[in-house]
Amino acid sequence: MNESARVAVVGAGAVGLTTAFDLAERGARVTLFERDAPGGGSTGRAAGICYDAYAEDIDVAVADRAMARFRSLSGEGGFTFHETPYVFLAREGDDAAAAALEESVERMRVHDRAVSLVGADELADRFPIRTDDVLLAGVAENAGWADPAAYADLFVEKCESAGVEFRVGDAVSLRTDPPGVAVDDVVTARFDAVVVAAGVHSRRLLADAGHPIALKPYRAQALVADCDYRGPTVYDATDESYLRPHPGGVLAGDGVEPVEPDPDDWDPTADDWFVADALDAVRHRATVGDAGGSELELDRAWAGLCGATPDRNPLVGAVADGVYVAAGWHGHGFMWSPAIGERLAEAVLGDGRASIPDAFDPRRFDGDEEFAVVEGMTLDGE
């Protein structure tokens, strides 16, 4: 496909915006369709945690490029990448999690990741967090966090500067032979290629066009609490909870709900039980300053939708001639968006500079598979 190709991107989250910009930068004429506000879907509800602590080579390669690009973008517009180590730990009595942690770190080191195993005392010497219940921890140095909304705002500006046409407010459907996008069942334009990066809504869009994908939505929750937290990002594998620094104090969340919601009719507000549990988790782990006291105050809480696949690898690549998808991130979509957008743009235009791993090929599944949802932030998946 030549670089002046007409390409439609459906979905203006972090992945869609990055893909649209990278396509336009390479000379494509890009139209970006978004039914709501850019960055207003899953991206605006993401935790913003970033790291390269993975045990599989394909994940390492994607995360490595994403981290490098986050750093290169830091300082543009209102976007900042905050360097913050990532700690993942197992508690006393959880020998299974400790064994999985040790095995994961060993595999990460095979791929030259800057990750170390530490005990409770060493962890306490380095970070202002509670460690008396820690059996074993891993510390990933190449990690940080960023505000997903600021990233989306930056790429809206970059897309506009690169000549991307925005079509906001329209619910669309796909036409795949030849590739096209329809609004109210009226085809607005023919394209040389269409990229579907609409999060969990990608499943319906592609299924209606005759290309089912193995994608299942699930609901995850997070909150921001007002406190003085200056520690690292922490994932507690025993409690299945996480926290990270936030300008308002601390951002915290936990596992997943193993119930498939209707992506067009779900509750974006946080549950009371989650708020209580997450605040308790912060009080338990973040013992320095106000975070360890009873005066911890909730700022805001919310729920978001993530997409799961049968093997926990994303669906990235062609589903038909000229029709591509990028979905199924298990909560890692924002974290990987700088690298996925770049690789997908190169794949669409066929320049071959960066291939998409076969393990991400959406056609590896029939699209009607039954599978259970598992959370994205687990020791065996890093």
* DSSP codes joined into one string, 1-54: --TT-EEEEE--SHHHHHHHHHHHHTT-EEEEEESS-TT-STGGG---EEE---
Side chain identity, residue 247:
P
CB crowding 186-204: b at 16 or more within 10 Å, else e:
eebeebbbbbbbbbbbbbb
Q: Is the Cβ–Cβ distance between 240 and 80 less than 8 Å?
A: no
Predicted structure pTM score: 0.94
Task: Give the end of a domain, one of 306, 324, 356.
Answer: 306
Do residue 221 and residue 367 come from a single domain? no
Domain with residue 30: its CATH number is 3.50.50.60
Place of tokens 């010497």: 125
Question: Which segments of 128-180 does DSSP mark as H helices, in order?
Answer: 148-161
CA distance 334 to 329: 9
Residue 328 lies in a domain: yes
Task: Give the end of a domain, one of 251, 277, 306.
Answer: 306
Phi-psi label, residue 216: left if phi above 0, alpha if psi -120 to 50, beta otherwise: beta
- DSSP 8-state symbol, 262: B
What H or E segment, with its residue span, contains residue 166? Answer: strand 165-168
Using only C-alpha atoms, what is the Rg of the chain? 21
Do residue 230 and residue 295 come from a single domain? yes
Residue 57 lies in a domain: no
Domain with residue 290: its CATH number is 3.30.9.10
Do residue 253 and residue 268 come from a single domain? yes
Range of the domain at 125: 84-142+216-306
Do residue 154 and residue 289 come from a single domain? no
Do residue 97 and residue 153 come from a single domain? no
Q: What is the pLDDT along the chain (382 residues), one digit of tens a residue?
A: 666 899 999 999 999 999 999 999 999 999 999 999 999 999 999 999 999 999 999 999 999 999 999 999 999 999 999 999 999 999 999 999 999 999 999 999 999 999 999 999 999 999 999 999 999 999 999 999 999 999 999 999 999 999 999 999 988 999 888 898 998 777 777 899 999 999 999 999 999 999 999 999 999 999 999 998 999 999 999 999 999 999 999 999 986 777 789 999 999 999 999 999 999 999 999 975 444 444 689 999 999 999 999 999 999 999 999 999 999 999 999 999 999 999 999 999 987 666 899 999 999 999 999 998 876 666 554 4
| Angle, CA 360 vertex, CA 364 and CA 112 arms, to 5° | 140
Do residue 316 and residue 296 come from a single domain? no
Do residue 232 and residue 367 come from a single domain? no
